[in-house]
């Protein structure tokens, strides 16, 4: 049976006829990537109820924590910097509650972009509210080239990681983030960095399968040589092995 992959929905504003209702959304490239890698995607609504979250975690074989808006610095005990953009504390709280239950289940987790950031916060880490705050020499991490499936910068990979098994010592990625990991959460290890030192991938030391990347592997979907599908295939493989 194909593994069922729960993907956290993202809160998106509905512009239709002036409605103010939030849409619980998921980009189709996440769904296509899960399907192509052999899984069945299921979008989990933003519903912060302990019983509901227990049911979601019991139902799914693995989880994707997707990209999205900024993490509210209140979630990691800091005050807002002027470069902070849109965030929602209620979304952070929902995700932190759900991630806690996901981690307890020991089921595989793939975290992407905002996902790596909120996972780092779940482990007690903090974030740079804008990549430029890391200091002089920080690269541009918000991609300017709009080629579908386009790349932006390379990352250097640590030995003995999921990424090194898939790509060796380096791989070219896209980059659509303006925040990044600052203090590393306890129990996590860094498995890839950009040339300016920005943290680009994490794994958990004491968890069967937690893989977090700062780029968007699902956005490679339009490429004929979608070499980032390997990240989804490896994750779905771990979900199927449970």
- C-alpha R_g of the chain: 17
Can 100 be counted among the known catalytic residues? no
Can 93 be counted among the known catalytic residues? no
Q: Closest residue (Cβ) to Mn ion?
A: 175
Which of 10, 88, 141, 216 binds Mn ion (CB under 5 A)? It is 141
Give min distance, CB of 102 to Mn ion, in A: 25
Phi, psi dihedral angles at 156 (to 5 degrees): -100, 130
Burial group, residue 148, by CB count within 10 angstroms (0-12, 13-18, 19+):
exposed
Give min distance, CB of 126 to Mn ion, in A: 18
Nearer to Mn ion, 72 or 143 (CB): 143
Q: Which of 60, 113, 180, 239 is catalytic?
A: 113
Q: Which of 26, 177, 218, 239 is catalytic?
A: 218
Give min distance, CB of 215 to Mn ion, in A: 6
Give min distance, CB of 72 to Mn ion, in A: 21
Task: Indicate whether 114 belongs to the interface with Mn ion (CB under 5 A).
Answer: no
Nearer to Mn ion, 2 or 193 (CB): 193
Nearer to Mn ion, 22 or 134 (CB): 134
DSSP string for residues in the chain: -PPEEEEE-EEEE--GGG--PEEEE--HHHHHHHHHTT-EEEEEP----HHHHHHHHHH-SEEEE---SBPPGGGGT-PPPTT---B-HHHHHHHHHHHHHHHHHT--EEEETHHHHHHHHHTT--EESSGGGG-TTPPP-B-----TT---EEEEE-TTSHHHHHHTTEEEE--B-S-EE-SPPTTEEEEEEETT--EEEEEETTSS-EEEESS-GGGGTTSTT-TTHHHHHHHHHHHHT-
Nearer to Mn ion, 33 or 179 (CB): 179
Give min distance, CB of 127 to Mn ion, in A: 14
Which of 75, 175, 179, 191 binds Mn ion (CB under 5 A)? It is 175
Question: Which range of residues in 24-32, 56-64, 140-148, 202-210 is near Mn ion by CB under 5 A?
Answer: 140-148
Q: Which of 10, 177, 211, 216 is catalytic?
A: 216
Can 186 be counted among the known catalytic residues? no
Active site residues: 113, 216, 218
By CB under 5 A, name the binding residues for Mn ion: 141, 175
């Amino acid at each position: 049976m194909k593994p069922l992959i729960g993907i956290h929905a993202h809160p998106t504003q509905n512009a239709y006829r002036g409605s103010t209702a939030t849409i619980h959304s998921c980009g189709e490239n996440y769904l296509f990537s899960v399907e192509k890698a052999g899984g069945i995607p299921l979008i989990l609504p933003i519903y912060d109820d302990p019983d509901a979250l227990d049911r979601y975690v019991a139902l799914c074989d693995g989880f994707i924590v997707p990209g999205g808006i900024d993490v509210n610095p209140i979630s990691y005990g800091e005050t807002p910097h002027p470069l902070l953009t849109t965030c929602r504390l209620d979304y952070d709280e929902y995700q932190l509650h759900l991630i806690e239950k996901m981690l307890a289940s020991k089921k595989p987790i793939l975290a992407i972009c905002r996902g790596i950031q909120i996972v780092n916060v779940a482990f007690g880490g903090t974030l740079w509210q804008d990549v430029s705050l890391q200091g002089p020499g920080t690269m541009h991490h918000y991609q300017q080239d709009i080629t579908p499936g386009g790349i932006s910068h390379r990352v250097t990979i640590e030995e003995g990681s999921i990424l090194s098994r898939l790509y060796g010592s380096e791989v070219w990625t896209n980059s659509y983030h303006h925040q990044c990991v600052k203090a590393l959460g306890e129990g996590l290890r860094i498995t890839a960095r950009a040339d300016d030192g920005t943290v680009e991938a994490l794994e958990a030391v004491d968890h069967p399968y937690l893989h977090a990347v700062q780029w968007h592997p699902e956005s490679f979907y339009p490429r004929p040589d979608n070499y980032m599908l390997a990240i989804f295939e490896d994750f779905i493989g771990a979900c199927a092995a449970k």
